[in-house]
Amino acid sequence: MPSNDLLHRFLFDDCDVRGEIVTLGDSYREVLSHNPQQPAIHRLLGEFLAAVGLLSSTLKFDGKIILQARGDGAISTIMAECNHHNNLRGIVRLNSEIELSEDIAIQGNLQQLLGNGVLVITIEPQRRENFSGTIERHQGIVPMDADNLAGCLEHYFSQSEQLATKMWFAANEESVTGFLIQALPQQLITNEEDNRDKWETIITLANTIKSDELLELDHSTVLYRLFNEQPLRLFEPKALRFACSCSRERSADALLTIGKEEVESLLVEKGSIDIDCQFCNQHYHFSAEEVRGLLGGDVLH
């Protein structure tokens, strides 16, 4: 049985290398139910969700990590985020002007689905009232220079963070698994050559993992199969879940940003305003009276 909605971190005891493995089941299927239904889009969205799960373990403050790509292909936007409560959500928007060929809908990769585009990692601290600290929103641009997400993120880590990183993803309709091995700054081993040898041994072993194994085995079994001869410390897992951060208040705020004239014409046309959250399909209904209250009572109609 695969692990479900769990992330495990692990550390090699005799060299400066760490790892993580995450498998999403229930949360992944919940996100899929609110998104376009092509199999290749499912798998790519799964990879984005697993990737933010892996990246979230490096979040050092309250906030969220967002992985978003925009392109000129069949997918115009794909986004996944994970916050410090381990709540995940994700969304795909299609480009209405581009027809998705059957071939790409079934087995398209990142580049075929997004076309020319840009991938951005955002680390966003939680906004707090009366907070006068200095934690800034941080954005890193990830060049889409590989045809899959793992390749793009590996390049990003080696260039911007100077950390050698390898990632593997496997997804089907039921679950998605993300697996990461990353070199840490030298600490245990001071001989650079020894460290490189250890790293290469670990990567050679990790490369023997098959997608089916990542999807069908629980994390301990995967790690035992790969690294049973390496001293490895496995930490307690953390549980992730699908949860949406939308609320009636946030929908009301969004309504106010549309602009008075637009809101007035919507009210004339429909008599009330309905907002659906695109992440979770939650429905928010605002009567004409409520909208008038929000806008300060001077809506004309």
Binding region for Zn ion (CB under 5 A): 244, 246, 277, 279-280, 282
Looking at the Cβ atoms of 31 and 217, the one nearer to Zn ion is 31
Looking at the Cβ atoms of 78 and 91, the one nearer to Zn ion is 91
Looking at the Cβ atoms of 244 and 299, the one nearer to Zn ion is 244
> Closest Cα partner for 242 from 84, 113, 10, 87?
87
Looking at the Cβ atoms of 179 and 279, the one nearer to Zn ion is 279
User: Shortest approach of Zn ion to residue 54 CB, angstroms?
Assistant: 23
User: Shortest approach of Zn ion to residue 244 CB, angstroms?
Assistant: 3
The CA dihedral of 126, 131, 133, 135, to the nearest 10 degrees, is 10
Give the single-character DSSP code of 284.
E
Looking at the Cβ atoms of 41 and 91, the one nearer to Zn ion is 91
**Structure tokens, 234:** 């496995």
User: Shortest approach of Zn ion to residue 245 CB, angstroms?
Assistant: 7
User: Shortest approach of Zn ion to residue 281 CB, angstroms?
Assistant: 7
Q: In a 3-state reduction of DSSP, which class is residue 34?
A: coil
User: Shortest approach of Zn ion to residue 246 CB, angstroms?
Assistant: 3
Helix ranges (H only) for the chain are: 26-33, 39-56, 102-107, 110-114, 149-160, 192-206, 211-216, 219-227, 248-258, 260-270, 288-295
CA 164/CA 181 separation, integer angstroms = 8
